[in-house]
Structure 1
Amino acid sequence: MEIRVRRGDTLWYYSQLFYMPLVLIIDSNSGVDPNELRIGQVIRIPGFTVTTHVIEKGDSFWKLASARNIHVDALLLLNPDVNPNQLKVGQKVKIPVRVTSFIVDGKQPYDFERMRNDMNRLLAIYPFMRKREAGKSVLGLPLYDLRIGTSNRKVQMNASFHANEWITTPILMRFLNEYLLSLTNHFAIKGVATLPLYTRTQLSAVPMVDPDGVNLVLNGPPAGMEEEVLAINKGSRDFSGWKANIRGVDLNKQFPANWEFEATRKPKAPAPRDFPGYAPLSEPETKAMADLVKKESFERLLALHTQGKEFYWGYEGLEPPESERLARLFAQVSGYKAIRYVDSHSGYKDWFIQEFRRPGFTIELGEGQNPLPLSQFDEIYNAASGILIYSLT
């Protein structure tokens, strides 16, 4: 929601007027000097949208404000050209509306466009969240990196490394939505107060690492690549078992953590799953994700996958002692089984632990055959949200 500064207004006053943490208003207005507001300057207030009300007989600003539990001055601020003492029937006035419900509906097929539409709606309502690009996919789709918080202490989360595990994307998007709602509406998540997390920790979230693959699973072959992907899929038009990127490379087998060994026991040519590529980091998606953690000093990393109701937290004895403490905590809040080692290499989590000696986790959400049914969404989210919120503590 946008407002314009009046004489004597301050960001602190706006935080009181709209019951919104001052830091969220400041962070929603980068480039604005909080100490030198100019009359007429546009200020964005997070957590609100604007609706239009048509004046009826008997309406007054006091009556409208009282019915909506807002301050009269909020109406005056949004309607600077309206004389509150001379309202006319049929006249239109703007009403601020606090957003208290979810934008993200994850209980539906969730391709790249749906994810991007939800992302843009969240960015419009919560401008303190920032959008970057970690890189692009083979077909040029952005790998969005959404940031919440500005602290130097950073936690990285990602989803949909594997195409047919696309349910992990709406799970992560739903968590971002709940986190934003909690910050602007002053409620805790799983008993955790979120405003202190916001000020202490910067969240980096890449909701869809393999957008080309997800679109293939949900929408079928892209124009110009039908022959190629059908050949990789042995002529079948059923792409429900496709885990790889659009070139048939398994993105979570692409990292230089014993890649050469893993390659000896995996497919030797492009395939719907498990082909580690002809060399590590050969794909634009994996190179982007590797560059992301090289540039940023992430304290922790969580990669969302399906399935198994378990998570893996160690690699070759290189994980720090803190990982075990976090694993016990994650198991407690999710009910998932914590597994230290598994006979697998060259994953994103493996490489992160190897290179940085910091806690990394592969979270296997839900249980069954991929792609998991949307009927599991609520159960999966209940477990995942506990892990995600506690990972920021």
Structure 2
Amino acid sequence: MRTYVVQSGDTLSRIARRFGVTVSAVVNANPQLTNMDYIIPGQVLQIPNALAQYYVIQAGDTFYGISQKFNIQINDLISANPNVDPQGLYIGQTIVLPNSSGNSIVDTTSEYGYKEMVEDINALKNKYPFLEVVSLGKSVMGKDIWAIKIGEGPKKIHYNGSFHANEWITTVLLMKFIEDYAKAYSTDGNLRGSDMKELFNNTSLWVVPMVNPDGVELVQEGITEQHPYYKQLLEWNNGSFNFSGWKSNIRGVDLNDQFPANWEEEKNRRAATGPSPRDWVGPYPLSEPEAKTIADFTKNTNFNMVIAFHTQGEEIYWNYRDLEPPVSEQIANQFQSVSGYKPIKLTGSDAGYKDWFIQDFRRPGFTIEAGRGINPLPMTDFPRIYNEVIGIMIEGLKV
């Protein structure tokens, strides 16, 4: 057991990852944490010693199934168990579970925020120099809104995530896809049966993994009295220090209600009339730097197609006021075939990013509602969700 003093920007997940233990182990060693929403800088924690993780074989288990369940590279699982015959597993047998990140850069097992994303972007760029990384602009609190380009083809595609703060798992989905795509391109080219070298030559994919970095930070870290919006955020959040339900940016504006596509109608439709955890459209369209940054980027790049990844519902939204091209429904059906998600023709919704894109460009635009449950979706759901949406991410480069 060791003592650790919480620093600014720490979360239980980050501390556990740093010391190679689980969040539950940290909580169990610190009974005072049970009724707390967030940890506070200066707080003293007891950190248990790291122990190897083990798993007891159940009926029907295979190394492949275990690797999928725990998001572990199968080769790492085999290497961690040199005396175990993968073909001769038996019920009750104990095996070692290696660090699930294995040789991967993007850790898909624990909380993932702006800090982790920036570190991974730098690491991916160093490992795969053909990636292009640019800052498109700044958030309200001055964080860079990063874009990553992979591919050199004439067809321009855009994916984005974390428009909504408590949907930050979409950032991990996109970052993991970038890593898997880059790895496939630099090796044999194959990713889930698709030739990524061919797609690299035919398409230029621009990914903005985190549109709303300030909001994501708020959801994951909470606030202290030093936060510049401390009093306002508490008031907007009805006095609660728990920001897990927060979708907006740091000024209480829902960034996916910010676009000039019948914005006034959406304003009249929404119950929120001022800064709020969700559903306030803001004082005017594109009032927020995050939304304006994405709009300017979209106009300047002239994309052939865009996809905004959200959670949750396992649905595909593909239309807007009958302004979408006929091919949009066909593409949505293709996405359904590779994901199992249901295409939905929406009505009574305006001012979203894909709404504006369809309205202004008359090209295919989509919102993917990934996963199912209550936001923020737990990272234990990541392997299943990624297995569903990676088909859409690959298919989007082919259409």
Please classify the TM superposition score into its range, dividing by the shorter chain length.
0.7 to 0.9
Residue identity matched to 2:214: D
Matches within 5 A, 1:93-104: 101-104=103-106
Residue identity over aligned pairs, in percent, reads: 50
Residue identity matched to 1:291: D
Equivalent residue for 2:246, pick from 233, 242, 249 = 242
Report how far residue 353 of structure 1 moved: 0.3
In 1, Cα distance between the equivalents of 2:290 and 2:182?
27
Report how far residue 221 of structure 1 moved: 2.2
Structure of greater Rg: 1
Residue identity matched to 2:336: A
Equivalent residue for 2:235, pick from 231, 236, 257 = 231
Report how far residue 226 of structure 1 moved: 1.4
In 1, Cα distance between the equivalents of 2:228 and 2:302?
39
Which runs of structure 1 show a deviation greater than 6 angstroms over 4 or more consecutive aligned residues?
none
| Structure 2 residue matching 1:213: 3-state secondary structure | helix
The equivalent of 1:23 in structure 2 is: none
Report how far residue 214 of structure 1 moved: 0.1
Equivalent residue for 2:314, pick from 306, 309, 313 = 309
The equivalent of 2:346 in structure 1 is: 341
In 2, Cα distance between the equivalents of 1:224 and 1:262?
29
Establish whether residue 179 from structure 1 lines up as the match of residue 184 from structure 2: no
Equivalent residue for 1:196, pick from 187, 190, 198 = 198
Contact 1:102–1:178 (CA under 8 A) maintained in structure 2:
no
Once the two structures are superposed, what CA deviation does each residue of 1:271-320 show, in whole Å capped at 9, x if it has no partner?
A: 00000001010000000000011101101100000000111000000111
The equivalent of 2:300 in structure 1 is: 295
Equivalent residue for 1:141, pick from 133, 140, 143 = 143
Report how far residue 207 of structure 1 moved: 0.3
The equivalent of 1:269 in structure 2 is: 274
Report how far residue 247 of structure 1 moved: 0.2
Matches within 5 A, 1:33-182: 101-182=103-184
Contact 2:109–2:379 (CA under 8 A) maintained in structure 1:
yes
Consecutive unaligned residues in structure 1, runs of 5 or more: 1-99
RMSD: 1.1
| Structure 1 residue matching 2:174: 3-state secondary structure | helix
The equivalent of 2:324 in structure 1 is: 319
Report how far residue 345 of structure 1 moved: 0.8
Establish whether residue 283 from structure 1 lines up as the match of residue 288 from structure 2: yes
Consecutive unaligned residues in structure 2, runs of 5 or more: 1-101
In 1, Cα distance between the equivalents of 2:348 and 2:265?
11
Once the two structures are superposed, what CA deviation does each residue of 1:194-245 show, in whole Å capped at 9, x if it has no partner?
A: 0010011000000000000000000112622211211111110000000000
| Structure 2 residue matching 1:298: 3-state secondary structure | coil
The equivalent of 1:351 in structure 2 is: 356
Residue identity matched to 1:321: P
In 1, Cα distance between the equivalents of 2:144 and 2:340?
34
Contact 2:320–2:359 (CA under 8 A) maintained in structure 1:
yes
Report how far residue 340 of structure 1 moved: 2.1
Contact 1:312–1:342 (CA under 8 A) maintained in structure 2:
no
| Structure 2 residue matching 1:197: 3-state secondary structure | helix
Give the paired residue count: 294
